[in-house]
Amino acid sequence: QTTDLAEMTEDVVDRFSLQLRQKAITVRVQVEPGLQKAWIDRDGIDQVLDNLMSNAIKYTLDGGSIVLSAKLTGAGQLSISVKDTGIGIPKKDIAHIFDRFYRVDKARSRSMGGTGLGLSIAREIVRAHGGTIGIESEPNAGTTVTVTLPMAQEGGEQP
């Protein structure tokens, strides 16, 4: 369906407003000017963004910040990323992070709650839409998860 990207990203932030306030995490939303409406599966992508936002909040300390951005890649794909200033992920764990039930450092993760399914579900949804999901992280500095999706701008062909 046709999705208003500014509205979609603002809505994600709204759904987490309570948790964001509780941890005093600030969020900046950046939607590339001119990139307004895209033909994507709003429900599926909402689920992906909720998983990514939930992680960004869970693994960021009080007073941190998150940037949610949407832009068009050179190849004409839609790129949506969630960048946080959180605890980051050790290099040795990066390769496994999308596996079902995989969680970094069980002691660290147990206290946070969760099952270790969020990213595997996100990847499944993204792949089902013909897209890709990638992660970049620096321990004690932060993490960026980027989702790239084939898309058509309004009025164009459906991918």
**Residue 119 beta carbon to Mg ion: minimum distance, rounded to whole angstroms:** 6
Q: What minimum distance in Å lies between the beta carbon of 52 and ligand ATP?
A: 7
* 49/69 Cα distance (integer angstroms): 11
Q: Which residue is nearest to Mg ion (CB)?
A: 118
> Which residues make up the interface to ligand ATP (CB under 6 A)?
51, 55-56, 58-59, 84, 86-89, 97, 102-104, 109, 114-120, 143
Q: Which is nearer to Mg ion, 58 or 71 (CB)?
A: 58
Among Mg ion, ligand ATP, none, partner that 143 touches (CB below 5 to 8 angstroms by kind): ligand ATP
Distances (CA, A) of 80 to 32, 49, 73, 101, 113: 10, 9, 10, 24, 26
The answer to whether residue 55 forms part of the interface with Mg ion (CB under 5 A) is: yes
Q: Which residues bind Mg ion (CB under 5 A)?
A: 55, 118
